Structure 1
Amino acid sequence: MPAIEIRTNVSVADPKAFFSAETLDKPEAYVGVHLVQEQTMTFGGSFDPAFLLSISSLDNLPPENTEKFSKAFAAFIQEKLGVPHDRGYILFNDPGRPNIGFSSTTFATIFGKQ
């Protein structure tokens, strides 16, 4: 259930090919991505290329994973957007199974049934 939101002040050439679920080790069928591009954005007091990346995911964000994910996403953003890794923040959040709704229920109920 990863939900990924990236905000950036640069343009993405092909938004449909921008993200992949591989980095988070989750099936792509369950990944939601929201890309907000060409926004007015400052980082460190400058309007140079920048990003803010928010990742919410259930059950796979312990510190050893967030370190690995941070490195992978920073490299991805630098490669795809040309934005240096020190021009943005990556926010990780595991909201907990009861706090994510899907298919008219929550993941707490879905996982409780399995």
Structure 2
Amino acid sequence: MPTFNVFVSIKKEDVPDNFLTEASAFIAKLLGKPESYVTVRVVPDQMMCHGGSTEPCGSVQLMSLGSLGPKNKDHSAEIGKFLEEKLKIKKDRFYITFFDIARNDCGYSGTTFA
């Protein structure tokens, strides 16, 4: 159930057309999860300030059932590189918050993963 939420100050038209599908494949590979469970949400045109500056910036959340924790430093490096390349937002212009969700705290298809 990886969910990759990307809130950015850049305009919708500056998000590449294939960003959603590329991000979906990227997160699946990064976490070793089936892409059929990955959700990607991009919220552009956000009024944001980071470090006292309104230069392009963002706020990123990655939620998953497992695959997080000790590997977050590596995940952060890979996500930073990916977003800097694809969205042209410098990796020091966003934070990434990781959420390792308990199986009973995630509903899907009328039940939970517990």
TM-score, scaled to structure 2? 0.87
| Structure 1 CA distance for aligned equivalents of residues 8 and 22 of structure 2 | 13
Q: Is the 8 A contact 1:7 1:36 kept in 2?
A: yes
Whether contact under 8 Å (1:18, 1:80) holds in the other structure is no
| 1:1-114 aligned within 5 A | 1-10=1-10, 11-14=14-17, 15-19=19-23, 20=25, 21-63=28-70, 65-108=71-114
Q: What secondary structure, in the 3-state scheme, does the structure 2 residue paired with 1:33 have?
A: strand
* Secondary structure of the corresponding residue to residue 46 of structure 1: coil
Larger radius of gyration: 1
How many pairs are equivalent? 107
SS in 2 for 1:72: helix
The one-letter code matched in structure 2 to 1:53 is V
Q: RMSD of aligned C-alpha atoms?
A: 1.2
Distance in structure 2 (CA, Å) of the matches to 1:58 and 1:8: 25
| Identity within the alignment, % | 38
Runs of 4 or more above 6 Å deviation: none
Q: Which amino acid in structure 1 is aligned with residue 88 of structure 2?
A: G
SS at match of 2:72: helix
